[in-house]
Amino acid sequence: MVTSKKEKPATRKQLIEEARRASIEGRWEDSITINDTILERTSKDAEALNRKGRALLELRRLGAARDAYSDALKADPANMIARRNLQRLEMIYHRQDATPETEDAPLGEATPLPRGNVFVEEVGRTWVDELTNPLPVVRLSEISPGTRLDLTIADGRLFVTDGDERLGEIEARVARRPVELIKGGNRFEVYALGISGQSLRVIIREVYRHPSQESNVAFPRQIRATQELMRERELLFQREEGDFTFSEDDDDGDTESVEPEDEEVEQPDQDAAAYVEERSADDEEEEQV
């Protein structure tokens, strides 16, 4: 008679990896189940409670999400993830048109996480900023960080929208160039980064550049900021080496300078400097208008 071996239970490390994978893939129900398994073993695991809270929040089960984040904060009073999400939930609950939650209410659509390189800034191709003329923060707080939003053009202005609702707009001086490029065939994406003050912080990324627009930079102001940073870096390299020498007292009480060793000093990247100079030169006069 052959006896079947009992399946060995997953280790805590394996469960954590499964929970993270479920979150990345937007499998929120699975995420709750896995994190509950972790919490059965360690009830005061703040990270598991935060992951559970995120899943519940994505499923619009706001009351349960608030409980999970509250438990996370009790387990770890310094946990900023739990604290920020509780603040966000409080803003949602205080909306005038908020309705009580029930466990039988529709779960809503899950919001899968975007690809990893979405939030990587690229000089000239991305722009991070707060929306101008935004909706009230109680509405903006409903937008999860990482949510992909839409861009619409109206009367030469660039609006960030969630479906048909305008959340706010991109500053006019920044929006002018993307508006021209979109009309010329370029494509942009915009993602929410989270609440900042009384507005929503977003990142705009140029994801396709039409061949006819190859020489046009989407965000010349970012290039100029990079150029200024490189100039500061170059000035640092040009400082006298003596500024960095140390001194020590010898036995006679005299001060003796320590001679710097002969070594090759790193030089600023001249090719990169030339690039930003060339890219920003055509835009300098336009930006000053």
Together in a domain, 72 and 51: yes
Q: Which domain holds residue 235?
A: 219-240+266-289
**Listed residues 78, 93, 108: the one ending a domain:** 93
Asked if residue 87 and residue 17 are part of one domain, the reply reads: yes
CA 282 centroid distance within chain:
30
Q: Are residues 209 and 228 in the same domain?
A: no
What CATH number is attached to the domain comprising 187?
3.30.70
Statement to judge: residues 51 and 67 lie in one domain: yes
Q: Would residue 83 count as lying in a domain?
A: yes
Tell whether 171 is covered by a domain.
Answer: yes
Find out whether 206 and 126 touch, Cβ atoms under 8 Å: yes
Q: What is the CATH number of the domain that holds 75?
A: 1.25.40.10
Same structural domain, 229 and 205:
no
Residue 111 is predicted with a pLDDT of: 46
Q: Assess if residue 116 is contained within a domain.
A: no
Q: Does residue 230 share a domain with residue 178?
A: no
Asked if 152 and 84 sit in the same domain, the reply is no
Domain boundary among 77, 93, 109: 93
- Residue 42 inside a domain? The answer is yes
Helix, strand, coil % over all residues of the chain, rounded to 5: 45, 15, 35
**What are the helix (H) ranges across 184-241?**
220-238
- Both 194 and 235 in a single domain? no
Residue 68 and residue 54 in contact, taking contact as beta carbons nearer than 8 Å:
no
Structure tokens at 15: 């469960």
What's the pLDDT at 104?
38
Per-residue pLDDT of the chain in tens (289 residues, 90 and over written 9)? 445 556 778 898 999 999 988 888 889 999 999 999 999 999 899 999 999 998 998 888 888 999 999 999 999 988 888 887 887 777 666 554 444 444 434 434 444 445 545 556 677 788 889 999 999 988 888 887 778 899 999 999 999 999 889 999 999 999 999 999 999 999 999 999 888 888 999 999 998 999 998 888 888 765 555 555 555 556 655 555 445 544 445 444 544 444 444 444 444 445 544 544 555 554 554 444 4
- Of 93, 118, 148, the residue that ends a domain is 93
The model's pTM: 0.48
**In the chain, how many domains are there?**
3
- Look at residue 146 and tell me if it is in a domain: yes
Residue 3 in any domain: the answer is no
Indicate whether 201 and 236 sit together in one domain.
no
